[in-house]
Amino acid sequence: MTRQTQAFEIGGQAIPPGGRALVNLALPGLYTNDPVSMPAHVTHGRHEGPVVFVSAAVHGDEINGVEIIRRLLQLPLLKRLKGTLVAVPIVNVFGFHNRSRYLPDRRDLNRSFPGNEQGSLAGRLAHVFMSQIVQGVDLGIDLHTAALHRDNLPQIRADLSDPILEPLAKVFSAPVLLHSASPAGSLRGAAADLDVPVMVYEAGEALRFEEHSIQIGVRGILNVLRCLAMLPPTKRKPTRPSAVLRSSSWQRAPQSGILRAQARLGAMVAEGETLGLVADPTGERETPLSAPFDGVVIGRTHLPLVFEGEALFHVGRTGQTTLLEEHLDALNGGFDLSPPELIEELPIV
């Protein structure tokens, strides 16, 4: 074990080995002349190890990750951290204030990376995050939920062809691990261009806290930090492996109308099985929507009023039905998923 000799520098501050600090990274202010900053909580271990960032609310209305980071930072276990953890609970501070996915300039921050110092508001915010947080980091975990009126089964999205990322994405042990390319302009894609592997955790709904999604998220991050030897190993039995999905497909509304959903989130569906029916308000013209292949519903809308072409059900292709059933039993049975080192507090209902 090698003692850390260097301070960790961020935002003009130097955090000594064994230190913890809240660093406020300056952002463009409000037009009311109020300053705005992005809070970054740094835990710089006494001993050397990797540098990992965990970020949340890149989409300002996706708040499960904010609570995941709060619980993570409460853990006494972090006193034993090797290496450095940089936790950014609210990346899109502007969207968070407005309870909105977007920035006040109506741009999507997660389509604006890597950004530019002279660019749009979104581009400048992305640039701050890239230059202050992502540069020189060994791994990132970016926490999301589904967009407004949608719900995601807890899942990791990662490029499984990346040999560094693949084992770490697996060890997170979310119910589902989806191999996927990163969208253009995303934090994940821009970080990959700098050779910083990033996995995305997607779980639950926008503007809602969902206890299981939060617990699986905290446990998953701890699993990853342990796998990197940043935290001491646990004597608990290893968590259940994820069901790996090599591909997925969104089923879109075949016509505008009113959706009567029939497939729950997490439902195992056979090819051709009806996911829901879209009809006009009188029910005269009705079109079924069916599963494109054998798989599992990993995302869905909760808003029955749909326009033609709207994404309604996200189906992941898998044959690992037994493994998935075990995960779903744990989710639906309300099992306490908390690792024992989590501080005692009542679950959010």
- Which residues of this protein are in contact with Zn ion, per CB under 5 A? 59, 62, 144
Q: How far is the CB of 200 from Zn ion (least distance, A)?
A: 8
Q: How far is the CB of 87 from Zn ion (least distance, A)?
A: 17
Which CB, 61 or 159, lies closer to Zn ion? 61
Q: How far is the CB of 161 from Zn ion (least distance, A)?
A: 23
Contacts of 95 (CB under 8 A, 6+ apart): 57, 59, 60, 61, 101, 102, 103, 109
Q: How far is the CB of 157 from Zn ion (least distance, A)?
A: 10
Q: How far is the CB of 184 from Zn ion (least distance, A)?
A: 15
Nearest residue to the partner Zn ion, using Cβ: 144
Tallying the residues shown for the chain, one arrives at 349
Q: How far is the CB of 149 from Zn ion (least distance, A)?
A: 14
Which CB, 144 or 314, lies closer to Zn ion? 144
Which CB, 144 or 212, lies closer to Zn ion? 144
Which CB, 142 or 166, lies closer to Zn ion? 142
Which CB, 44 or 188, lies closer to Zn ion? 188
Which CB, 110 or 251, lies closer to Zn ion? 110
Q: How far is the CB of 58 from Zn ion (least distance, A)?
A: 6
Which CB, 59 or 314, lies closer to Zn ion? 59
